[in-house]
Amino acid sequence: MLKPGHGESRGIPDGNPGTATRAIPGGMLSKARAAGFPMQAGRGEPRDSAREPGLGALRYPPAPQMRFFEYESRAIVANAGIPVTQHGFVKSADDARRVAEQIAGPVVIKSQVLTGGRMKAGGVQFADTPEEAARHAEHVLDLEIGGHHPRGVLVDSRAAVKHEYYAGVVWDGIRKRPVMLFSDMGGIDIEEVAERHPEHVATAHFSTLRPFAEWQAKQLIASLGVSGSALNRLTPILARLARLFLDYDMTLAEINPLGELEDGSFVALDAHMDMENEARPRQRAILHELGVGDEETRQAREPTPFELAGEQVDAQDHRGVAGNVTEFDGDLGLVIGAGGGSLTLFDAVRAHGGRPANYCEIGGNPSVRKACGLAKLVLQKPGVDKVAVMMSIVSNTRVDIVARGVIKACVELGYDPAEKIAFFRIPGAWEEEGFKILARYGVDYADRSVSLHEAARRAVEKIQGSAGGDGAAPAERFRQTTAEIGDERDV
Amino acid sequence: MSILIDSQTTFIVQGITGREAVNLTRECLDYGKGAKIVGGVTPGRLGRDVHGVSVFDTVGQAVEHNGAPIDGSVVTVPPAFTKDAVFEALENGVRLVVIVTERIPRRDVAEMVELAGEHGARIIGPNCLGIIVPDVVKMGGIGGPARDAAKSYSPGPVGVISRSGGMTTEMSSTLTAAGLGQSTAVSIGGDAIIGSSYAELMPLFEADEETEAIVIYTEPGGRMEADLARWVSEHDSRLPIVAFMAGRFMDEMPGMSFGHAGTIVEGKEDTAAEKIARLAEAGIVVAEEISEIPAIVKERIAARV
């Protein structure tokens, strides 16, 4: 009997990166949990639950890894010497027909999108003839899944599979080593296997300093009782997977299912690879080979115009960082920093009933221009009534420079800083200078004696107390004072 | 007393001629009793001088010049060269490496940590601000210029461990304002893999007589807090721990990450809510706001006596 090798059986056929169930070492993977895995898969994709009222799906910060399309993952695997089924990546129905003709057998047409729910959405179709393959391809190529338009389709032969295995490698953040997972129950979600049949999942950590040795793979596979020819054929495949994981700076390298065919040979029926973003500069060779451009970020969703404008503010000046600008739909604009401070302050604003209009992380000693640009962007966002300018104690970033920047933004937009800046709480370097400037413009500010939460509370109180703000501030009065705020004279 | 460093600790700054490193060197020399910076390393800059600190081409030269093994190194070289710099320090007998550099690929971090383990050495970071022993010494940019650091940090009984460099100072400042000084504050870095986690620093604080309580700053993502909870349960620690968790809002945005690279929503048990539950199970108090921390610490210290 022909057992479909592409997961159309057993419930999780999708092979989609990004489906929650796909996350290998997810929170429920008991063995993985015991091993202290970093659960790297399944991140960076907006799920339905991310679209809750008030909090949209986030784009920033960039996911720590870059997800590959399935056709790229297969190329990586094949390049490492691991056999794959005969397949072709195409962008037209005609090409799909040609690939199906070459395969000369039953095929599966799979949408190439970086989002979950592919199977459910009808993005995976089976065809017995080249004509049928072309028909399906035409449909799938036009099918938008979760807001993503497919890049193309994979036309894959349907192999005669005798048994399905699982092989994967991820990082373990606690042991600080890579860990290899192997199961003789492949084709379904490994998380589910680990939960229901933990005796069918084996794991082994390995060194990053010494080359991965064949015996390590062999020992892992044999620990599940796999012997004979299967053991000897699986060993080099797992060893190659472990090596490619390190060679290409992956955060996830997974083959599922890893199929044993009727003739006893093994083939990767589906693969999923994520590469760490920080390593992209040194992985240019393979990325170029795969046709991945340097600018291709593959984030969970496309940036909004507001977020793109935030990137421009950051890019216009090399000094400091105005990063991770992310849009929300509230009325309180936030100029907050840095990493930990931003997380704390965003929580604090919400805890006090505030509705943030954005998230951001400003720091690293930004220029007046950058602070001004960010504040302007936030102030001009539709629905924003006031901005709160808050950070944890700064030692590198200068309080006076940020103060100048945000006041300048108000003034240049014709607003009264005292009215538009709901609250300013940045203690630390050059605070005396900064507070002087704030006092001169009547801006409500505080030093370190006011906690982050208290600052957030005051900012929220201010915006709730105002009836929407008329925005028609006495522009002239402030425009004349712009000059004294200075621009880069403080650098 | 303190953990990791004291007034006698000798260290070098690798990448000392970089702009941030020059500032960091000044800050460390100025702070407390003045750090014993016995050299700096920037390849090709042998013979230069940074605030009176001699610059060498290699760590070996610095060790030779020092005439004795060097305890530590602050590494501030660009990410592509960090691994080599750290290997060089470790192979030349340095036992404590503070890695300031951000954006280092995980594979490199894992290799550095593994080599450090083989040498019996310790890594703090990467992507961290270093270590400070209030009024005595600081190793790294933590707290900023000496004058600013002095405003936030004061000597006392609380050990501080934080995944965020800036929040190390914010929390210490809050403690200081309430009359609670710090024995040592350590910025451990926010990446997915770091040299020293909460649980790995706990035995050091446990052994330090001056330390009476621990305050930690945590974020969603990773398993370090669960690991700490396990350590506490297994070791019957004498030290009460008070935690603050930032980024709770991320629980409502599964699949997303914020802040540091390690702030990753990796699965159910890595959410803020799940971590808080785990910490609480282990008897660790999780404060709702930073301003509540001093009172809780005082209460917990009093309860132990």
CB A60 within 8 A of CB A301: no
Q: How far apart are CA A53 and CA A87, in angstroms?
A: 42
Q: In A, which residues are within 8 Å of B268 by CB distance? A: 26-28
B147 in contact with A, Cβ within 8 Å: no
CA–CA distances in Å: residue B149 to residues A411, B139, B176? 34, 12, 11
pTM above 0.90, yes or no: no
What would be the CATH architecture of the domain defined by A28-33+56-85+159-289?
Answer: 2-Layer Sandwich (3.30)
**What pLDDT does A3 receive?**
37
Q: What is the pLDDT of residue A300?
A: 66
| % of chain A residues with pLDDT over 90 | 67
User: In the structure encoding, which two tokens stand for residue B293, read together?
Assistant: 């921390």
Q: Is the pLDDT of residue A159 over 80?
A: yes
CA-nearest residue of chain B to A177? B110
pLDDT at A15: 32
Interface touch B162/A350, C-beta < 8 Å: no
Q: Choose the closest CB to B193 out of A55, A173, A282.
A: A173
- Per-residue pLDDT tens digits for B27-46: 999 999 999 999 999 999 99
So what's the pLDDT on residue B87?
98
Q: Is the ipTM above a cut-off of 0.90?
A: yes
In percent, how much of chain B has pLDDT > 70? 94
Distance between CA atoms of residues A444 and A435, nearest Å = 10
- Tokens 């700076």: give the residue: A249
Rounded average pLDDT over A467-480? 43
Alpha-carbon distance of B10 to B139, in angstroms, equals 10
Contact A33 B269 (CB under 8 A): yes
Q: Does domain A305-485 have CATH number 3.40.50.261?
A: yes
Nearest to A208 among B110, B148, B219 (CB): B110
pLDDT reported for residue A63: 66
Residue B259 pLDDT:
31
* Residue B229 touches chain A, beta carbons under 8 Å: no
Mean pLDDT of chain B: 93
In the sheet where A153-157 sits, what is the strand order?
A87-90, A153-157, A107-111, A124-127
Count of helices and strands (H, E) across chain B:
10, 14
pLDDT of A57 > 50? The answer is no
Residue B234 is predicted with a pLDDT of 95
| Fold of the domain spanning B10-304 | Rossmann fold (3.40.50)
Chain A residue with CA closest to B146: the answer is A395
Average pLDDT of span A203-230: 97
Average pLDDT over residues B69-83: 97
Eight-class DSSP state of B95:
-
d(C-alpha A205, C-alpha A217), whole Å:
11
Average pLDDT over residues B81-95: 98
pLDDT of A190 reads 83
| Distance from C-alpha of B285 to C-alpha of B282, rounded to nearest angstrom | 9
Residues 6+ apart with CB under 8 A from B64: none
pLDDT at A258 > cutoff 80: yes
Q: How high is the pLDDT of residue A192?
A: 81
In the predicted structure, residue A354 carries a pLDDT above the cut 70: yes
Residue ranges of domains in chain A? 28-33+56-85+159-289, 305-485
**For position B254, what pLDDT does the model report?**
53
Q: How far apart are the first and last CA of chain A?
A: 75
Tell me phi and psi for residue A160, to 5 degrees: -85, 95
Digit-coded pLDDT (tens) for A286-313: 999 999 988 887 776 678 899 999 999 9
- Contact list in B for residue A391 (CB cut-off 8 A) is 166
Nearest CA-CA partner of A417 in A438, A391, A447:
A438
Q: Which of A18, A173, A395 sits opposite B169 (nearest CB)?
A: A395
| Tokens read off for A54 | 């008030």
Place of tokens 């690798």: B14
For residue A472, what pLDDT band results from cuts at 50, 70 and 90? very low
Q: Specify the pLDDT at position A466.
A: 67
Q: Is the pLDDT of residue B261 over 70?
A: no
CA dist B69 to B13, B38, B222, Å?
15, 11, 35
- A113-140 pLDDT, tens digit per residue, is 987 778 889 999 999 999 999 999 999 9
Q: Which residues have CB under 8 Å from B166's CB, separation 6+?
A: A337, A338, A339, A340, A341, A363, A391, A392, A393, A394, A395, B129
Report the distance separating Cα B89 and Cα B111, nearest Å: 14
Confidence of residue A482 (pLDDT cuts 50, 70, 90): very low
Inter-chain contact A208–B290, Cβ cutoff 8 Å?
no
Q: Is the pLDDT of residue A8 over 80?
A: no
Residues of chain B in contact with residue A350, where contact means CB-CB under 8 angstroms, are 249
> Is B260 considered catalytic here?
yes
Closest approach of B272 to chain A, Cα-based (Å): 11
Residue A418 preceded by cis peptide, ω within 30: no
- What residues 189-218 of chain B have any CB closer than 8 A to a CB of chain A? 190, 192-193, 197, 217
Q: Is A55 left (phi over 0), alpha (psi -120 to 50) or beta?
A: beta
Across chain A, mean pLDDT equals 83
Minimum CA–CA partner of B221 in chain A = A38
- CA-based Rg of chain B, rounded to a whole angstrom? 19
B-chain residues within 8 Å CB-CB of A63?
257
Cα atoms found within 13 Å of the Cα of residue A422, Cβ hemisphere only: 32
A435 or A277: which leads in pLDDT: A435
pLDDT band per the 50, 70, 90 thresholds, residue B139: very high
pLDDT of residue A107: 97
Among B249, B288, B291, the strongest candidate for a mutation testing the A interface, having the largest count of A CBs within 10 A, is B249
Tell the residue number behind the tokens 């083959």, with chain if given. A255
Tokens of A88: 């072709």
CA B145 to CA A428: how far, in whole Å?
10
Q: Is the pLDDT of residue A112 over 50?
A: yes
pLDDT of residue B36: 98
- pLDDT number for residue A187: 86
Decide if pLDDT at A477 tops 90.
no
Residue in chain B nearest A275 by alpha carbon = B105
Structure tokens at B237: 């620690």
**Averaged pLDDT, A413-420:** 97
